Amino acid sequence: IEATEGYEEILERRRDHVGRNLSISYRKKLRIVKGALQYLYDDLGNTYVDCVNNVSHVGHCHPVVVKAMQHQIATLNTNTRYLNDHLVDYAEMLTATLPSRLKVCYFTNSGSEANDLAIRISRHFTRQKDVIVLDHAYHGTSTAAIEMSPYKFDGKGGFGRMPYIHKAMNPDGYRGPYRLSDPGAGEKYAADVERIIGMLQQEGKAPAAFICETLLGVGGQIPLPPGYLQAVYRAVRAVGGICIADEVQVGFGRVGEKFWGFELQDVEPDIVVLGKPIGNGHPLAAVVVTEALADAFNNGMEYFNTYGGNPVSMATGKAVLQVIRQEALQQHALDTGNYFLERLRNLAPLHPLIGDVRGHGLFIGVELVRNAETLEPAVPEIDGIVEAMRDRGYLVSTDGPLYNVLKIKPPMVFNKSNVDGFVSLLHEVMTDLGY
């Protein structure tokens, strides 16, 4: 059904009163009015399979989570200066999923705020200011987070790189100088971080922190090459720097094989930053640090956050963890993700545009290229595919520095029949479009 009635009016009202630097998904706009698990419904009664919303981790409006939130908001919502069981319950439940040295939680309301705090804690501890980030990374929208995000500061409207931020090479094993076929690729990309550390040392400095996602999201749905984080963390720690894992997109069982993305690399960060999925759409994020970092941060200046850790957020977080366990969603992500990857890889020989299929669990990227040798990005072809998928009821989006990667990170309840639907429609759409 063509959904256009009343849309111009909404667009006009947005233009009048809503910040204008915000794009809206799809050429043919969507007015989504309802969500249930992996499904979204528009104002005309059309059903869409959500293939991209990793925030609604256990599913849109999951009844267990909704009920816990409803109960708590009707009971009490205050700040964290009163004693409340939910706060300590959740901090214990959360840290139980992490390596034992990651012990102390700070609760915030967004991933940006959490990354901002993680950097502040690192700077307090090390008494250094410089931060090493990966090229094309995105860590959030606060002033400090923008400074850590080449995706923003190098892009349109950006202020450029601050002198105390250093960009290391994006360890892209498909497109970068070292390919996944090279077993030494991880170490070779890590050498770029070592180069920056060496440069800082010549100036009498050391990094306060190294921060990266443990699978690169905005960087293009890229799994890190084997050995990469081990080599990087070793080098950063050798000069006293803090290793931060941004798990905002990939954590919480999504990668299937493990609960956390960093576990795929067999490392233990000093700080883990969590967001999006942990509140299933409710604004909840967290910074989890070691005891030593927490002690150093407890320096006389209080850290108080009006909403962070409030009882409604904590009850929500507890319910999300409970559902992940009860519904065995990590195992489900592994099984469904492996099936998805296999089906997409089987599709690749039929469509020359499919250059690479990669990912772990339900965090998958399909990179589209015009030429398998030059890797010329298939843009705008990819946009036509995304629009055609939307017309057929599957919502997917694009990412990567060249905007040519189909980004797949659905609610974790996404199932094999959703995979079958997605893959057969992708085949149909690409065939129709002549790709």
Query: Where do contacts with ligand PMP occur on this chain (CB under 6 A)?
Result: 110-112, 115, 138-141, 213, 217, 246, 248-249, 275-276, 285
Shortest separation between residue 116's beta carbon and ligand PMP, angstroms: 9
Closest approach of ligand PMP to the CB of residue 279, in Å: 10
The minimum distance between CB 193 and ligand PMP, in angstroms, equals 18
**Residue 238 neighbours by CB distance under 10 Å:** 11
Whole-angstrom Cα distance, residue 186 to residue 171? 7
Shortest distance (Å) from residue 149 CB to ligand PMP? 8
CB-wise, 110 or 398, nearer to ligand PMP?
110
Closer to ligand PMP by CB, 178 or 252: give it. 252
Decide: 206 and 390 in contact? Cβ < 8 Å.
no
Helix orientation angle between 381-391 and 416-432, rounded to the nearest 10 degrees: 130
Residue 98 is given by DSSP the state S
Peptide bond into 380 cis (omega under 30): yes
Closer residue to ligand PMP in complex, CB, 59/277? 277
Nearest one of 204, 168, 166, 167 to 186, comparing CA atoms: 168
Nearer to ligand PMP, 224 or 285 (CB): 285
User: What is the closest distance, in whole angstroms, from the C-beta atom of residue 54 to ligand PMP in the complex?
Assistant: 9
Question: Half-sphere exposure (CA, 13 Å, Cβ side) for 173?
Answer: 25
Give residue number: closest CB to ligand PMP: 111
**Sign of the CA dihedral running 425, 428, 434, 435:** positive
Q: How far apart are CA 361 and CA 331, in angstroms?
A: 9
Nearer to ligand PMP, 161 or 282 (CB): 282
Residues 371, 357: contact at Cβ < 8 Å?
no
Shortest distance, position 218 Cβ to ligand PMP, whole Å = 6
Cβ at position 86, least distance to ligand PMP in Å: 21
- The secondary structure of 139-191 as a DSSP string is --SSHHHHHT-HHHHTSTT-----TTEEEEPP--TTTSSS-TTSTTHHHHHHH
The tokens describing 138, both together, are: 């995105």
Closest CA to 236 of 148, 168, 149: 168
Nearer to ligand PMP, 232 or 248 (CB): 248
Q: Which of 267, 105, 290 is nearest to 186 (CA)?
A: 267
Considering beta carbons, is residue 381 or 399 the nearer one to ligand PMP? 399
Nearer residue to ligand PMP within complex by CB, 113 or 187: 113
Beta carbon of residue 110, minimum distance to ligand PMP (angstroms, whole number): 3
Nearer to ligand PMP, 200 or 286 (CB): 286
Residues 6+ apart with CB under 8 A from 76: 84, 311
Helix (H) or strand (E) holding 408: strand 405-408
Work out how close the CB of 370 gets to ligand PMP at its nearest, in angstroms, rounded to a whole number.
28
Q: Please state the closest distance from residue 45 (CB atom) to ligand PMP, in A.
A: 30
Nearer of residues 50 and 213 to ligand PMP, judged by Cβ = 213
The answer to whether 353 touches 430, Cβ cutoff 8 Å, is yes
Report whether 40 contacts 261 (CB < 8 A).
Answer: no
